[in-house]
Amino acid sequence: MTKKSFKGITVLLTAGPTYEPIDPVRFIGNHSTGKMGYALAECFAQQGARVQLVSGPTNQIAQHPHITVTPVTTADQMYAAAKVLAPQAAILVFAAAVADYKPKTPSDKKIKKSGNELTIELVKNVDIAAELGKQKRPGQFSVGFALETDNESAHAREKLHKKNLDMIVLNSLNDPGAGFRHDTNKITVIEEDAITAFALKPKSEVAQDIISLIWERLYG
């Protein structure tokens, strides 16, 4: 394999948020735009990979012809799509910001305003990276993402082990210009025996850094 080429490699990549319905017009979600995930998809494709991109709701558009987008809305839908695609992929990248919880019983009709309080019972969503980590076959390389606000490194390392990841990309909401709704990001990549920190950069360049590190671990 030539330097920094992923020719012939299939990559499964999740991106964007998930929206968990409360009723037909309301949902639980987050501020993810999908920019980081789509930047990774474009970068992988430019370097020869065939990318299966499972994307939550976003305004981002995949440009490269080697990117196949499977649009989804909820965490359950994202997991179902990723579970089908994962066995054929050599690299798994979980860049989506999946909602941790969902309403236990979404209403099939719009909930009318009444009283001063509304209680919604929530249940845990499937942890997509963790579930697919249990099914990871020898030779598959998996990458997770962690957006933290405190004890960042400790929480990221815990996820690295819990989800059977080979590396996890950490960014902190405490860093200006990082996190949701920015065109830049500042990351630290944590592995079992290595920590690699990068400066604040445009997300397209951050994607290059991440993919170069993946290439080094697999083929360097």
CA dihedral 60, 95, 18, 180 (to 10 degrees): -70
Q: Which of 127, 128, 170 is nearest to 150 (CA)?
A: 170
Q: 29 in the Ramachandran plot: left (φ > 0), alpha (ψ -120 to 50) or beta? A: beta
Half-sphere exposure in the Cβ direction for 177 (13 Å, CA)? 11
Q: Is 30 a catalytic residue?
A: yes
Which tokens in the block code for residue 6?
């992923």
Cα–Cα distance for residue pair 146/94, rounded to 1 Å: 10
The residue from 30, 59, 116, 125 that is catalytic is 30
Cα–Cα distance for residue pair 183/39, rounded to 1 Å: 10
Please classify residue 143 by burial: count the beta carbons closer than 10 Å to its beta carbon, then call 0-12 exposed, 13-18 middle and 19+ buried: buried
Q: Which residues are marked as active site? A: 30
